[in-house]
Structure 1
Amino acid sequence: MAQAEFLNRVGVNYLFTPWISWLLLLQSAPFVKPGTVPCHILWWVFVAPVVALDVKIYGQWFIKGKRFLSTVANPTSQLSVIGNLVAAWAAARLAWAESALCLFSLGMVHYLVLFVTLYQRLSGGEFLPPMLRPTFFLLFAAPSMASLAWESIASEFDTGSKMLYFLSLFLFASLLCRPMLFKRSMRKFNVAWWAYSFTLTFLALASIEYAREVKGHIPRALMFILSTLSVLVSIILTILTLLNTKMLLPSDDPVLAEMEQRLPSTR
């Protein structure tokens, strides 16, 4: 299954998600204190796969071949960028300024290239399947995460963080104005809907930091609306997932089907 995902231009990006989740949990785990040796070891354990995937995937993007960026770019490609930004955020909280800056710069450079590629629709591949269109919400997750990461590096929600936050708000508003884009994907529940919760949480966290830095009714209103929306979406998706547990690993999963086609028969 892992081999099939790695060979899939969409599935390969989801290899970043376990490490993103663990890095986020590392910062909130009550039994692992920041700055301790176990925390440092766990950070390296979780970041090493992210860097390894970076070397492999980013290398394919700029080296001529079958999987260079203009042929494989899709909204899920931003998970690779988010992985670097989350790692930078965690490193900054461990007071590892150089590591945080390194990972942040790596993520942002590739985010700019990826954003331009997606913005100009340079991808030569097929359009994203309708069921995966919720992943378009990743468009504003990356700048939201970048604003949080830079805030941790700079020790304040400065102009750079605000610019990234405003970009994420603009992209979020742009998607809200196009509900028909998600009409077909909303007909039946699938796990791709979790892209709504994942991205809204990052935007809500960024809005909280912005409201702390900029006092006023509008920042507080944005913080309240986005935080409430994030919580409600997470609760609804949790309930729907519990009611549809059979969909987590369906027998007709397209990734499994591709794996069976690629691997030689053992009969």
Structure 2
Amino acid sequence: MVRDEFLNSVGVNYLFVPWICCLMLLESSPFLPRTAICHQVLWSVLVMPVLALDLKIYGQYLTKGKRHLAIVGNPTSQLTVIGNMVGAQAAARVGWRESAMGMFGVGMAHYVVLFVTLYQRLPGEHNGGVPATLRPVLFLFFAAPSVASLAWGSIIGHFDSASKMLFFLSLFLFMSLITRPVIFRKAMRKFDVAWWAYSFPLTALALASAQYAEEVKGAMPHALMLLLSSISVVVSLFLMVVTVLHTNLRFS
């Protein structure tokens, strides 16, 4: 089953998720100083699977050319970029700025390639696309630049102009998606675990908006932060309730 997942153009990207979660937990750990040796060792252990998957996926893009990427590229491919950005942010937090810059550079370069590839895909073109039930993963389009803005802010030490540009890009992509609800109509007809793909991108965007509001004082940035944070909380709570109800109905 692991092999089949590894060879699947959609499933292989989800192999990043456990390591992304662990790196985020490491960043938020209250028990260890961020520059402690133990913290740095844990980062090294957790980031090794991310780098191994990078070599597998990005290596294929490099050696097999753009035709291969056009076939296997899909919205879940952006999880590879998010893995690099979270690793970069965690590296910056533990004091390894050069490692953070390296992971950020690799992730950002491939985000540009993926974005252009997916942006140019013709309507109705299947080429490695996701089925209708998985369309919530389209929200990963704005998750990647949101996490990138947070990672760059951690590397530099403050939410600078580059972080703001990435935040505005993610905000624009978010607005582009929510103004076209018809895209998600089929996916919302029946509950699916893919609905949880809404929660992380919204949370990442809300966190980026909080950093932006902290850097840019004013009523509008704080109102935007409050709006996006509220949406993130409401969506997460809704998904929890719906998941519990669906599970109870399924096993009752």
Q: Secondary structure at the match of 1:244?
A: helix
- Give the total of aligned pairs: 248
Match of 2:56 in 1: 56
Counterparts in 2 of 1:125 and 1:236: CA distance versus 1, 3 Å: same
1:62–1:69 contact (8 Å) kept in structure 2: no
Distance, in Å, in 1 between the alignment partners of 2:248 and 2:62 is 39
Aligned counterpart, 2:197: 195
TM-score by length of 1: 0.89
Q: What residue in structure 2 maps to residue 210 of structure 1?
A: 212
**Matches of 1:215 and 1:150 in 2, distance apart?**
20
Distance 1:149 1:247 in 2: 41
- How far apart are the structure 1 equivalents of 2:78 and 2:198? 14
The 1-side partners of 2:199 and 2:142 are apart by 12
Paired amino acid for 2:232: S
Q: Is the 8 A contact 1:70 1:124 kept in 2?
A: no
Deviations 1:119-144 (A, max 9, x none): 00177615320010000000000000
Q: Is the 8 A contact 2:73 2:128 kept in 1?
A: no
The answer to whether the 8 Å contact 2:72/2:128 transfers is: no
Amino acid at match of 2:34: P
Partner of 2:232: 230
Partner deviation per Cα, 1:185-230 (whole Å, 9 max, x = no partner): 0011111111110100100000000000101111001100111111
Question: Do the aligned partners of 2:9 and 2:128 also contact (CA within 8 Å) in 1?
Answer: no
How far apart in 2 are the matches of 1:65 and 1:2?
26
Per-residue CA deviation, residues 137-184 of structure 1 (Å, 9 max, x unaligned), is 000000000100000111111110010000000000000110000000
Amino acid in structure 2 at the alignment position of 1:19:
W
Q: Aligned partners of 1:36, 1:245: CA distance in 2, in Å?
A: 41
**What value does the CA root-mean-square deviation take over the aligned residues?**
1.9
Give yes or no for the alignment of 1:242 onto 2:206.
Answer: no
Shift of 1:37: 2.0
Distance 1:35 1:67, change over 3 A: farther
**Residue pair 2:14, 2:79 contacting (<8 A) in 1 also:** yes
User: Secondary structure in 2 aligned to 1:221?
Assistant: helix
Alignment of 1:133-212 (within 5 A): 133-212=135-214
Percent identity over the alignment? 61
Contact 1:22 1:46 in 2 (8 A): yes
1:37 aligned residue: 37
Deviation at 1:31, TM superposition (A): 2.5
- 1:190 & 1:219 partners in 2: Cα distance? 34
8 Å CA contact 1:200–1:230 kept in 2: the answer is yes
Question: 1:139 and 1:128 mapped to 2: Cα distance?
Answer: 14
Q: Distance in 1 between matches of 2:181 and 2:126?
A: 25
When structure 1 is superposed on structure 2, of 138-147 and 23-32 the one drifting more is 23-32
Contact 1:62–1:68 (8 Å) recurs in 2: no
Please state if 1:99 is matched with 2:114: no
* 1:247 Cα deviation after fit: 11
Give how far 1:243 is off: 2.6
Question: Are the structure 2 counterparts of residues 67 and 192 from structure 1 closer, same or farther at C-alpha, using a change threshold of 3 Å?
Answer: farther
Letter in 2 for 1:114: L
Give ranges in structure 2 of 5+ residues lacking alignment.
Answer: none
Deviates more, 1:34-43 or 1:106-115: 34-43
